[in-house]
Structure 1
Amino acid sequence: MSTERVIALIDMDCFYVQCEQRLQPDRWGQPCAVAQYNNWKGGILIAVNYEARDGGVKRYMRGSEATAVCPDLHVFAVPEVRGKADLTRYRDASQEVFNAIQESVQSLTAAADIIVEKASVDEAFVDLTAHVNHTLDQLEPPAVPTGAQLADTYLELAPRDDPTAGGNDLGQWLDELRDDNGFLRSDDIRLALAALVVQRIRAHIADKTQF
């Protein structure tokens, strides 16, 4: 069995924007950004969602510059207390996310040996090595995840909007998890099993938090 560890990074998309959109649900699906620091020229954008990026908006733009580029952009402001940024709502939302991750982890085999490490307010490293090893030990032969099970998983080298570009699509990769002799490629099956867990964690986070 491979001695390589299997570590996932859970990273929330445009987290500050999603926190604000959850408070104003009519803003879901619209170009939005979050500004901080000061009100001069609309403040500095510290978070930009995909709809806004598609409209040409980038992080660290001034709010006034961003709305000139994308007139439909809605800019949320980070709350302030005594003239300083109040990040309470984002920290509270972050705790919701980490609670959801921990709940997901507790349902896995070898849960006691799975390590969740906070990397930032919206990022976590999850060491899935124990779960993957236990799964491989229990399955003979190990079941290969299907494309349907990994419907929201994308290969690193494939563009997000076209997983088949470059001839390196997910289905082909799954088909090639076994070598010419029918044996599973150790590192690849470990990665596939971890991807299956990550997809379940992501779904649980969305169900619990809307993020």
Structure 2
Amino acid sequence: MKNIENLIQKAVELQSNGLTSRQIADELNVSRDTVTWLLTRAKKDVSTPAPKDISVNWTNIGKNAYRLRNISKVLCDMVLETLEQTDDDVDLIVGIGLSGVPLASLMAEELGTDLAVFHVHYDPADDRNLKGDFSGNFSDVRGKKCVIVDDVITSGSTMMAVIQRLREEDCKPVTIAVLVDKKGAEVISDVPVRALVRIVRVD
């Protein structure tokens, strides 16, 4: 129960800092329904049943550069395995901001590719309306083959938006590499998903 109380406290803190429910969900690696439930529980409304979700906290990896580098190498190994199976190659790693960028940076170095960063934007009036664009401070994505990197896939909506934007720029996503896949997806928008950990509910 202590972990739930910590999540409630963090959700309330993030909301008081002006984050939308979508941004809170991204920060806590939970669904938007879970954020709504956490914020409702903070108001002592215990009548709402808890959503079926799993919170992912990978702070023990993210706070340590040595661990982050080694996890990135494992993800690279999984990407290389996929490229060997598909007889394909890549010349770009695309990190989804914010949490996917450190992993993507290390993977681009390890694989000897360019690096691009995708910034996610939400409509303040409707945070379910996800948009985004590529940072001009990193590599251009046009005409390249890429690996998309993020920390956690929850619903897959962010990943679908990134894939759509890449295709609009004539960039071919070859595979997706993530630490944790909560959706249990083998493929998203015809792009294979390689996850270090895949969570599947059996209830």
Give your verdict on TM over 0.5.
no
Query: Higher strand share goes to which structure?
Result: 2
The answer to which structure, 1 or 2, has the higher relative contact order (CA under 8 A, 6+ apart) is 1
> Normalising to structure 1: TM-score of the pair?
0.30
Q: Which has the greater radius of gyration?
A: 1
